[in-house]
Amino acid sequence: MNLLGSLFSSSLGRKFLMAATGLVLFGFVTGHLLGNLQVFLPPEKINAYGHMLESLGAGLWLIRLFLLACVVIHVWLAIQLTLENRAARPQDYGVTHTNRATLASRVMARTGLVVLAFILFHLAHFTVRIGHPQWSEHTFTLLNGTKVRDIHTMMVQGFSNVGVSVFYIIAVGLLSYHLAHGIVSMLQTLGLKNEKWTLGLERFAVAYCWGYFLLNAAIPVAVLGGLVKLHA
């Protein structure tokens, strides 16, 4: 049996791809958060970190393309599977009853769509910097004398816009909620879960999601609250 063909055509194969791409993206958002938290350190740190990433050159583009492929597969299969799931019950029940499906699990498509919209906005805002050409020009001189792009200033100016910050907080909130089901669900799909450690896993997921949300939200809140300021 053709491996790739089965992965992309069977119900279980597509779910594995959902879980595997989800795992990659989960790893990415975790790393991305840890990188961003450097905004609370002196500006030198985050600017040097950004410079390190940008100087990966072709490597950075490989990583970006890989992440993009994961997002495309994750979203495309989610749409496909969701449409199939709706078609599998053409007539709804007169009485809707839920035994134990969590709210987070029932709104995955909706939270996912908002997160997708946010990713597009976020890339246009901070990566392509549409409408903010000055962010590509601000430079910062590292202690070793290298002139690098000033990411610290970009973040502070970007989050000084209340609308941007509110959208950011809503999006990371919904992403956390998406992960509340996603983390546990992907291990079940990969077959790496049983009753014995489900409770521990669920607790980890809840703790992770709260931590992820609060730490992410802390960045715009700190900027708006004046805790993280433009550097001299």
Helix (H/G/I), strand (E/B), else coil: 148: strand
Residue 181 Cβ vs other proteins, minimum distance, rounded to whole Å: 8
Closest CA to 21 of 80, 81, 75, 83: 75
141: which strand partners?
147
Query: Do the Cβ atoms of 24 and 67 come closer than 8 Å?
Result: yes
Residue 93 half-sphere exposure toward CB, CA atoms < 13 A: 4
Radius of gyration of the chain (CA): 20
Structure tokens at 122: 């976020």
Residue 206 binds other proteins, judged by CB under 8 A? no
Residue 106 Cβ vs other proteins, minimum distance, rounded to whole Å: 7
Member of 185, 212, 220, 228 binding other proteins (CB under 8 A) = 185
Closest CA to 179 of 20, 13, 35, 23: 23
| Sequence letter at residue 51 | H
Residue 199 binds other proteins, judged by CB under 8 A? no
Residue 200 binds other proteins, judged by CB under 8 A? no
Restricted to residues 38-97, the positions that interact with other proteins (CB under 8 A) are 81, 84-85, 87-97
Backbone angles phi, psi at 129, to 5 degrees: 60, 45
Residue 120 binds other proteins, judged by CB under 8 A? no
Member of 33, 190, 217, 221 binding other proteins (CB under 8 A) = 190
Distances from the Cα of 162 to the Cαs of 108, 113, 157, 224, 229, in angstroms? 27, 22, 11, 8, 15
Member of 1, 120, 199, 232 binding other proteins (CB under 8 A) = 1
Member of 15, 125, 149, 178 binding other proteins (CB under 8 A) = 15
Residue 86 Cβ vs other proteins, minimum distance, rounded to whole Å: 8
Number of residues that bind other proteins (CB under 8 A): 44
Residue placing its CB nearer to other proteins in the complex, 106 or 231: 106
Residue 29 Cβ vs other proteins, minimum distance, rounded to whole Å: 20
Residue 178 binds other proteins, judged by CB under 8 A? no
**Positions that interact with other proteins (CB under 8 A):** 1, 3, 6-7, 10-16, 81, 84-85, 87-102, 105-106, 108, 181, 184-185, 188-195
